[in-house]
Structure 1
Amino acid sequence: MNKRKNLSHKKSGNKRKRSENSFSKQQKNHGRGGPSKGKRSSDGANQRGQKGITAEVTCTRLTHDGKGIAQWEGKQVEVPHLLPGEKAEILITKRGRDVSGELKRVIASSKDRVEPPCPYFYECGGCQIQHMTNLAQGRFKQQTVNELMKPFVKPEPIMTMEHPYDYRNKSHTAFGMNQQRQIIGGMYAMNTHRIIPMDRCLIHDPKADEIVNTIKGMLKSFKVQPYNEDTGRGLLRHVLIKVGKVSGEIMVVLVTASSEFKGKNNFVKALRNEHPEITTILQNVNKRDTSMVLGEQEKVLFGKGTITDTLGGLEFEISAKSFYQINPVQTEKLYGKAIEMAELSGKETVIDAYCGIGTIGLIASKQAGNVIGVELNKDAVRDSIRNSKRNGVKNARFYQGDAGQFMVEMAARNEKADVVIMDPPRSGSDEAFLSSVVKLKPKKVVYVSCNPETQVRDLHYLEKNGYKVEAIQPVDMFPQTVHVETVAKLVKK
């Protein structure tokens, strides 16, 4: 997930998509498409079908992306939705040397298995581990981080979430037509642009889903057609909703394929009559054949065009394109831990690299001497300056540019920074940026990551170049998914 760039949905590999599993008619009639349970009636021998090989296996462990691992004819097979210790019947598909498995039937269940509360779980794929108990999810993520961070230090116990649903303050819904020419809205199935119609996502803010369902019902009466990617016809591509969890303010972004939106004033009026809690509505125009959800052109149809929310005791203004952590409850814990690791006394110069709209830097400014935020995205820098003024922060400055080059130039001028706080995108940092950290020689580096695997690579580089990892704290920012956030503290040797 690139944190600073526009929202996107890729035609393959997006974590919001999952290929539709094939299950028996009996299972499909139950409406969940999940694995069936019970004893096998056959003698247990492998049965060769037309589409693959049916086999009985036992799961030994999980991959880092939550798939069960089993052995079959000397080969390691990864099976989604299978848990350690479970005996199951799977369908094996061979493509050259590659072997993949699909769960057909659980014969002996793990105590960690639960019935996923979401009826779309096995088809959507936005949540990969909802079939695990909450305790098992935390244990799985802790083990994943422990294994990855073994070369450094033993991570602290993971910070979990008391209510691990309804947490997303941002939701994105795609619109289209089904084969019966009915308007549908929902998520994309994995590796496709096939929309799974859904009325409720259990990790979305419930109010956001209510608004989407209202919009879905309004489209026909207002003669608004969903956009068709194949024909290029239609208007509405997506609806993006952002909710201020503390403020209660709500932004609705109607992403259209054309700037011409006949009857838009009446549409906005009708939507607000149904949902007076909406504080701003925007039209974003995306005419491009692209995987990006948002286009460049934006028009405010109602309200001020932004919403505000409170984090770490400060108020932040959030625009349609702003990056803002999607789980504010856990973000408070994450940022609190990062600032605790920085061990600020009120005198330090802190660099907030990849600063976005300035959230972590402005929160840190309350305990630092001064904060320098650097961000490549000019819209985000504008937001960070506005947020600094909004909160009356006098000891923070924000600059647009490459953070690595900025630090190299600081080092060349013999300027110092005591702490660098870095929060890069999922791909992690690059050697150019990390080498600039080394040149600047801060006493501490606090590395916040949404991808521990790329973080491990970067921590190795920093340890080889004069730093020592002293502490690692995992935080469950994304319950029901395999993703976990980690913050690491490094000190100059």
Structure 2
Amino acid sequence: MKFTAPVAKNEKYEVIIEDLTYEGLGFAKIDDFPIFIENALVGEKIITLITKVKKNFAFGRTDEIITESPDRVHGIAKAYTQTGITPLQHLKYPAQLRFKQHQIQVDFDKLKVPAEVNETIGMDDPFHYRNKAQIPVRMLNGKLSTGFYKKHSHEMIPLEDFKIQDERIDKAVLIVRDILRKFQVNPYDERNHTGVIRNIMVRVGKYTDQMMIVLVTRTKKLPSTEEITREINEQIPGLTSLIQNVNSEKTNVVLGKKNIVLSGSDRIHDQLMGLDFEISANSFYQVNPVQTEKLYKLAIEKAELTKDDVVIDAYSGIGTISLSVAKAVNKVYGVEIVEDAVTDAKTNAMINGIKNVEFVVNKAEDQMAKWQADGLKPDVVIVDPPRKGLAESLIESVAEMNPKRVVYVSCNPATLARDVKLFGDFGYELNQPIQPVDQFPQTVHIESISVLEKK
């Protein structure tokens, strides 16, 4: 017998929202059939308009709110929801922090892994925190424009205030946009792979006030280069670095490999954890320095390091954790797959006069197996993997090395819960509550620190 969904596309239904998904969508059921609803909050009674029906679930949007949540924020601009820049902007900030704590708990409960989750550490000002922006440049209504893409589309919505970026970045983007308009530079056309300017990237040093602007072009030739360079420097006095990055590929990767310095330096500096970091156009650097410091300080504190300890930092990036840890221990080994990041890490060690660190370019799981085979015996292993979490082979290698503890900095609760379960097979268990730290207010992203010790 063919199953028929109890809802139909473009029809309206009254529902009560039971929970929020990890993407921040309201979750409701009609006859046990799940519906995921945009702009809906827990406890609300709403009328939903069904937008898509699949075999096992449907999507909807909030058409009318009958009973409203006390956590709802009013007066929000639709553009931020449409682009997905601030998917939680309709939820009051204390409730966002509870949502993030709850999400971690849900993922551990699903896998039946016992875990306690502390309250999320938030920000005093949960807006304008990002120190980096990559803004697409396209033709809209016959005019070069900057903005952001609608979710799941290639349609750009023009924006001037991005809410979560440092306000200096928003101002710089508008200045550059207007100068490019003045000199009639053609924006990139994705469909036909034509035009010149693809993106404007801006980075600022929170503690140094240094600014880098990167003009990402499809072509090596940027028309009116000298005039554009002069005007940008006149209108943004004290600009540290202006770079043209050439990306001629048909790709959604923002930066190409070739950088041309138009004025100033090829890098800026910033401070983190009392250390000086050099940041080049292609460097990875944490986008929320205020919360990153809280996150790293906690991770180091929870590692309970001593002067004699040997530490491995897997996924070491440009060395932010390794170098922060180095002064407290005997030796740090860092591994990172991105070659440029390792070059930056070595430079950053030199700038800060840190000599007891060693950085290697390799896949973290391969290098861990190599270190294990070489008989390296770390006291503490720190892992800060991407969203996909850890490879099983890496967990095996760590367990074979038998460190006192593993400090896991996670950006994805689902893979964290899976990995903690795998560590359990090797006798490592959580020895304290998981600590979420809100690195990305107004979004659904969740960072946390967990500590595993041998039973």
Alpha-carbon deviation of 1:72? 2.0
Alpha-carbon deviation of 1:94? 4.7
Judge conservation of contact 1:408–1:439 (CA < 8 Å) in 2.
Answer: no
Matched position secondary structure for 1:371? strand
Distance 2:43 2:231 in 1: 54
Q: 1:123 aligns with which of 77, 82, 93?
A: 82
Could you report, residue by residue, the CA deviation over 1:262-316 in whole angstroms, capped at 9, with x for unpaired residues? 2212211100100113210111111111110111111111122111111101011
- The answer to whether the aligner puts 1:192 opposite 2:150 as a matched pair is no
Distance 1:196 1:352 in 2: 40
Judge conservation of contact 1:404–1:437 (CA < 8 Å) in 2.
Answer: no
Distance 1:467 1:404 in 2: 18
Q: Which residue of 1 aligns with 2:281?
A: 320
**In structure 1, what residue type is equivalent to 2:391?**
D
* TM-score, length basis structure 2: 0.95
Matched position secondary structure for 1:436? helix
The percent identity for this pair of structures is 40
Residues 17-166 of structure 1: pairs in structure 2 closer than 5 A: 52-97=10-55, 98-118=57-77, 120-150=79-109, 151-166=113-128
Residues 229-268 of structure 1: pairs in structure 2 closer than 5 A: 229-268=190-229
Judge conservation of contact 1:284–1:299 (CA < 8 Å) in 2.
Answer: yes
- Of structures 1 and 2, the one with the larger relative CO (CA 8 A, separation 6+) is 1
Worse overlay, 301-310 or 356-365: 301-310
Alpha-carbon deviation of 1:408? 2.0
Matched position secondary structure for 2:70? coil
Judge conservation of contact 1:153–1:470 (CA < 8 Å) in 2.
Answer: no
Distance 2:389 2:271 in 1: 27
Distance 2:52 2:158 in 1: 31
- The answer to whether the aligner puts 1:489 opposite 2:451 as a matched pair is yes
**In structure 2, what residue type is equivalent to 1:176?**
R
Distance 2:158 2:238 in 1: 25
- The answer to whether the aligner puts 1:454 opposite 2:412 as a matched pair is no
Alpha-carbon deviation of 1:96? 4.5
Distance 1:384 1:304 in 2: 19
* TM-score, length basis structure 1: 0.87
Q: Which residue of 1 aligns with 2:392?
A: 431
Distance 2:52 2:440 in 1: 33
Distance 2:53 2:119 in 1: 40
In the comparison of the two structures, how many residue pairs are matched? 445
Could you report, residue by residue, the CA deviation over 1:455-475 in whole angstroms, capped at 9, with x for unpaired residues? 111111111112111131110
Q: 2:369 aligns with which of 402, 408, 419?
A: 408
Q: Which residue of 1 aligns with 2:3?
A: none
Alpha-carbon deviation of 1:114? 0.9
Matched position secondary structure for 1:220? helix
Residue segments in structure 2 that go unaligned for 5+ positions in a row:
1-5
Alpha-carbon deviation of 1:386? 0.4
**In structure 2, what residue type is equivalent to 1:110?**
S
Query: Residues 451 and 175 (structure 1 numbering): CA distance in 2 closer, same or farther, change over 3 Å?
Result: same
Worse overlay, 140-149 or 367-376: 140-149
- The answer to whether the aligner puts 1:468 opposite 2:429 as a matched pair is yes
Q: Which residue of 1 aligns with 2:349?
A: 388
Judge conservation of contact 1:59–1:82 (CA < 8 Å) in 2.
Answer: yes
Matched position secondary structure for 1:78? strand
Distance 1:243 1:68 in 2: 36
Distance 2:52 2:383 in 1: 43
Residue segments in structure 1 that go unaligned for 5+ positions in a row:
1-47
Q: Which residue of 1 aligns with 2:136?
A: 174
